[in-house]
Amino acid sequence: MSKGEIAKHIEAQEKETLASSGMDASEETRSASFLQKDNRVFFSRSLSSDVEILDIREALEKIPAAKENYGRAFKALNREYPQDTEGGYFIRIKKDAVVQMPIQACLFLKSQGFKQKVHNVVIVEEGAKVYLITGCSASTAAKEGFHLGISEFFIHKGAYLNFTMIHSWQEEVSVKPMSIALLDEGAVYVSNYICMRPVKEIIMYPTAVLSGERSRASFNSLVLSHPNCLHDIGSRAILRAKNTQAEMTARAVSMGGNVISRGHIKAESPLVKGHLECRGLMLSEKGHIYAIPEMETDFRDVDLSHEAAIGKISKDEIEYLCARGFSQNEAQSIIVRGFMDVNILGLPEMLRKEISQIEEQTLKGSF
């Protein structure tokens, strides 16, 4: 099979929305690809010997580690998870492998009214490093639909996972990602979330459990909430070992939608650090932003802090740009784009540029 094979499974009218969720159909800049539409896996292939990628159903039959880990993250938190999933991906990165090109996984809602439910398992073995872009999107035909995405991440000793999830839905789609990451000693987990297009509602509270000493987690999100949308988006870090660290950075813009920006850092060990930052921008008289930062501990020697700020675009900033010749609209758009700063995502240069372009394209259509 040659590169770009995945494109054969993409219909013309699906191209734009898949691209807007981070899909590189040429596979040139990807080390592995996965594509599921509704409940059917169309494509899964790795171009790197360090990366395994396959339908979770197949993995559960063939790979012992898939079976052993399936549901393990939820058990670690005594939480239940839905059993009626169909599909999802299994990804495993070999010990000590540094995977240069990102892996792409696309979960696509194709049919009107479909309820897509997937369960993903990602294992990053000791010392390995990888970038994973998961694009979740809906076809223009699927005005209405539902997506449930369960993800379990196992990041072993000294391993690094940068997980960037890009959502590109339709007005009447309800979305419920549920994810838990378990971090061993010295592991690093960066979880990025980007959602700029309309959606009915998204409810998510991804969690990282830092059980190994010196592990670090950071959650970053960029959310644009259109009228009639609800984004209830949180992130939670449970610091269970010494010298662990969590950071959360949220940027939310309401163009009339409702945003609840939650963050919860729980220090279950002494000598840990956590910081939460949330900034909100209100562009419309309608809409609502509600920032709820939470922090808790039973220990004295922890360092937990938060900052939150919500406001509208300052008139001075708009007029400054107008005095350089930008129209009011252009000025607003450039300020919002600056606010939605992809630099907070901790991405390498190439990926940062790519995500920045996606953001640019999407925001262009929003103003």
* Tokens describing residue 317: 């900033």
Cβ proximity to another protein: between 342 and 351 the closer is 342
Structural contact between residues 254 and 288, judged by C-beta atoms closer than 8 angstroms: yes
CB-count exposure of residue 75 (10 Å: 0-12, 13-18, 19+):
exposed
Residue choice 341, 356, 363, 366 for contact with another protein (CB under 8 A): 341
Confirm or reject binding of residue 356 to another protein (CB under 8 A).
no
Cβ proximity to another protein: between 111 and 366 the closer is 366
Binding part of the chain for another protein, among 16-24, 48-56, 283-291, 317-325 by CB under 8 A, reads 317-325
Confirm or reject binding of residue 334 to another protein (CB under 8 A).
yes
Question: Nearest Cα to 204, choosing from 178, 181, 223?
Answer: 178
Confirm or reject binding of residue 349 to another protein (CB under 8 A).
no
Q: What is the largest CA-CA distance in the chain?
A: 64
Cβ proximity to another protein: between 29 and 327 the closer is 327
Cβ proximity to another protein: between 203 and 322 the closer is 322
Confirm or reject binding of residue 339 to another protein (CB under 8 A).
yes
Structural contact between residues 155 and 183, judged by C-beta atoms closer than 8 angstroms: yes
Residue choice 296, 298, 301, 319 for contact with another protein (CB under 8 A): 319
Cα gap 212→90, rounded to integer Å: 23
Q: How many chain residues are in contact with another protein, going by CB under 8 A?
A: 22
Cβ proximity to another protein: between 35 and 253 the closer is 253
Residue choice 311, 320, 348, 361 for contact with another protein (CB under 8 A): 320
Confirm or reject binding of residue 29 to another protein (CB under 8 A).
no
Cβ proximity to another protein: between 304 and 342 the closer is 342
* Tokens describing residue 238: 């449970």
Residue choice 321, 347, 351, 358 for contact with another protein (CB under 8 A): 321
The sign one gets for the Cα dihedral 259, 361, 191, 61 is positive
Question: Nearest Cα to 357, choosing from 29, 43, 46?
Answer: 29
Shortest approach of another protein to residue 319 CB, angstroms?
5
Residue choice 340, 347, 355, 358 for contact with another protein (CB under 8 A): 340
Residue choice 29, 305, 328, 357 for contact with another protein (CB under 8 A): 328
Cα gap 69→61, rounded to integer Å: 13
Shortest approach of another protein to residue 28 CB, angstroms?
27
Residues that bind another protein (CB under 8 A): 314-317, 319-328, 334-335, 337-341, 343
